[in-house]
Amino acid sequence: MLSKGLKRKREEEEEEEEEEEKEALAVDTWWLDSDHPAVAQAPPAVASSSLFDLSVLKLHHSLRQSEPDLRHLVLVVNTLRRIQASMVPTAALPPVPSLPAAPGMADNLLASSDAALSASMASLLEDLSHIEGLSQAPQPLAEEGPQGRPIGGAPPSLGSLDLLDPATGCLLDDGLEGLFEDIDTSMYDSELWAPASEGLKPGPEDGSGKEDTPELKETELKDTELDYLMDVLVGTQALERPPGPGR
Amino acid sequence: MDGGGVRAGELRGAGGGNDIQWCFSQVKGAVDDDVAEADIISTVEFNHSGELLATGDKGGRVVIFQQEQENKIQSHSRGEYNVYSTFQSHEPEFDYLKSLEIEEKINKIRWLPQKNAAQFLLSTNDKTIKLWKISERDKRPEGYNLKEEDGRYRDPTTVTTLRVPVFRPMDLMVEASPRRIFANAHTYHINSISINSDYETYLSADDLRINLWHLEITDRSFNIVDIKPANMEELTEVITAAEFHPNSCNTFVYSSSKGTIRLCDMRASALCDRHSKLFEEPEDPSNRSFFSEIISSISDVKFSHSGRYMMTRDYLSVKIWDLNMENRPVETYQVHEYLRSKLCSLYENDCIFDKFECCWNGSDSVVMTGSYNNFFRMFDRNTKRDITLEASRENNKPRTVLKPRKVCASGKRKKDEISVDSLDFNKKILHTAWHPKENIIAVATTNNLYIFQDKVN
């Protein structure tokens, strides 16, 4: 049960702060050293917030792949949702419309309590569908904000879904530009690649892109660049081939 | 019933305990510890007779080994496997539309049953499936009128008499040629291919879709399963493996990242989104954790040769399902239960996402799967005994009997036991294969292929 996880976490909450740094180092070490030695120790007493951060890091890392491994991504996202569900106390739930009773209760609580997280993950996955296989990571993620934060010692300045450079653990100053830098868009400069008018779904990038997070306001995204990249996304999506005639 | 000679097709007793003794036979691949990325073995498969053994690697190459004809005099061993053919199946590609590199790694190889002198196999990377023909040439024409033997053309004016070219023997040459290329049908990464028992069609599965192909037709395929949600935000599950039933050409199964297996009947409808059967075991509440879903994700599904059972592999166990019973498996075997308390660390280093395969022996009495530290496990379904063996170059001389290994989960470690903390998680055996008729197994470590066989007196 989820309660089992909660119990463990509360017992070790005191150790959490001391262990936090070690956990962070361990995670950083893992990112830096691809020959990280085999699991040699018994698992440290992992507090949920560390596990949450680890999962977020994994999510980012997965998305930064030129073509994310969908299975890995889905499993990490589902695990992240589970962790978050266990971290949010019932009292802190934002007001929600009336929920159906009992069996689906947990799922509904999850859905409503982490609405902001869901929205950002939703936009992540929606983006994936539009840019199936495209090498960009999606647009700026909605800031989770303090309401989603766990009890405990996570650094308050770190929004749960802020973009981190996985190698150093530092916030990416250049935000989205860092994510897009690998893409050579010179081939898209030709007029042949102008977006078609048919079959375009309204991109959620439009919506979530506007939600500037306090941290990301510092980044210097030029609107023109963003518009250009949007055109590229929309244009290439129109050229996507359907999977087969049986559909 | 311990006969003196080796009779092909006679299967001895089971895998665990004293009935069978596994011996080292051969090891293929580089000796040095520095593993070249391209040499990482990504798939292993015997053909239908067991005479040929194919491997695919991360560099897109296929290597086929052929078993020597049994030496009647040397009755203490079965034929050795030697290199028969090597070819580059897939090359790295660049998808210009999406600005993406397509990996050349061979994800799966599946053999077609032999119909004539040539052998055929399907090999696939993430996006493209290819049908390869492997044929032998041991004669060549000689005595052309217009060509010299070295290939230079003769001046026609110098030809005064005509002769008929004749075939003369030559050194055996094995040629591999691509006969069909099945491309552009998968948006996501292909994880499985499976040839239908009709030997005319096959399926290919990626994370969200399964397509049906005819072996002769490359410019179209039929989509038979599509689990992509209309809104990708609702995506919570992907397809992890798929296989055709060995006897019923209308039946196939596919497994998911949530630990479910769906059996589909293609006669029911063109798009098999509604399953005929759903196999799922309820979660054990006492074992529930944040990682429950990840460890329940099925990494491989294989029908038994009989077609009555299917086997699934999830992170910690192997389960045997009776196709007539959907609510729970009939047998469950723990592969490395001692890892259950280490799941968090394994999540951290991504080992928890490793995809282990599994296989049946020819008589469906023993199943095998890999683990870490270059260990692999066999479970005898009849005696309920199991054994852990190691694929290692140390102490492995031909016909040396392998010593069973044991992992000590906790407490005092006995002599010869290995503690969990000493396991090397970089040495994983993901791919294993069992000869269809004999007790010969092929086990792939990262870049080496080990061949073991049972002891013959």
Domain ranges of chain A: 47-86
Nearest to A38 among B294, B347, B423 (CB): B423
Instruction: Please check whether residue B222 touches A, CB under 8 A.
Output: yes
pLDDT in tens, A125-183: 655 555 444 433 333 333 333 443 333 333 444 444 444 444 454 444 444 444 444 44
- % of chain B exceeding 90 in pLDDT: 79
Residue B128 has pLDDT above 50, yes or no: yes
Report pLDDT for B74: 59
B287 shares contact with chain A (CB less than 8 Å):
no
Q: What is the mean pLDDT of residues A108-112?
A: 37
Q: What is the pLDDT of residue B31?
A: 85
Supply the pLDDT for residue A130: 54
User: Cβ contacts (< 8 Å) between B238 and chain A: which residues?
Assistant: 70-71, 74
Strand order in the sheet with B119-124: B108-111, B119-124, B129-142, B166-182
Within an 8 Å CB–CB cutoff, is residue A244 touching chain B?
yes
Q: What is the pTM of this model?
A: 0.71
Residue in B closest to A55 by C-alpha: B348
Q: CB B257 to CB A74 under 8 A?
A: yes
- Show which of residues 336-365 on chain B sit within 8 Å of chain A, judged by CB atoms: 341-351, 353
Domains of chain B, earliest start first: 22-454 (2.130.10.10)
Query: Which residues face B318 on adjacent strands?
Result: B313, B333
Q: Report the complex ipTM.
A: 0.90
pLDDT 10s digits, B252-282: 999 999 999 999 999 988 888 888 999 999 9
A112 or A65, greater pLDDT: A65
Q: What is the pLDDT of residue A15?
A: 46
pLDDT (mean) for A197-208: 41
Cβ contact A70–B285 (<8 Å): no
B 148-177 residues with CB < 8 A to A: none
**B230 and chain A in contact, CB less than 8 A:** no
Most confident of the following: A141-155, A179-193, B114-128, B412-426: B114-128
Binning pLDDT at 50, 70 and 90, where does residue B98 land?
A: confident
pLDDT grade, residue A78 (50/70/90)? very high
Partners of B375 in the β-ladder: B390
* A200: pLDDT strictly greater than 90: no
Whether the pLDDT of residue A89 is over 90: the answer is: no
CB contact under 8 A, B238 and A71: yes
Residue of A nearest to B284 (CA): A1
Q: Give me the pLDDT at residue A178, please.
A: 42
Q: Could B290 and A86 be called an inter-chain contact, meaning their C-beta atoms sit closer than 8 Å?
A: yes
Model confidence at B402, pLDDT cuts 50, 70, 90, reads very high
A192 at B interface, C-beta within 8 A: no
Higher pLDDT, A243 or B265: B265
Give the pLDDT of residue B203: 98
Q: Which residue has the higher pLDDT, B283 or A221?
A: B283
Report for A119-133, A185-199, B403-417: range of highest mean pLDDT: B403-417
Q: Name the residue of chain A whose CA is nearest to B409's CA.
A: A42
Lowest mean pLDDT among A133-142, B27-36, B435-444: A133-142
A247 and B223 within 8 Å at the Cβ level: the answer is yes
In this prediction, residues A195-218 reach a mean pLDDT of 42
Can you tell me the mean pLDDT for A75-88?
Answer: 89
What local confidence, expressed as pLDDT, does residue B413 receive?
79
Q: Higher model confidence: residue A166 or residue A80?
A: A80
pLDDT tops 80 at residue B6:
no
For residue A39, pLDDT beyond 50:
no
| Residue-averaged pLDDT of chain B | 91
Judged by CB atoms closer than 8 Å, whether chains meet at B288 and A4 is answered as yes
Q: What is the pLDDT of residues B194-222, one digit of tens each?
A: 999 999 999 999 999 999 999 999 999 99
Interface of A with B in 111-130 (CB under 8 A): 118, 121-123, 125-129
The minimum CA-CA distance between A125 and chain B, rounded to whole Å, is 5
Which of B95, B188, B221 is nearest residue A70 as measured by Cβ atoms? Answer: B188
Share of chain B above pLDDT 70, in %: 94
* Contact residues, A window 35-64, toward B, CB-based 8 Å cutoff: 35-36, 38-44, 46, 51, 54, 58
Q: How confident is the model at residue B164, as a pLDDT?
A: 95
Does A67 sit within 8 Å of B100, measured CB to CB?
yes
- Tell whether B98 is within 8 A of chain A (Cβ): yes
Which pLDDT score, from 0 to 100, does residue A224 have?
Answer: 67
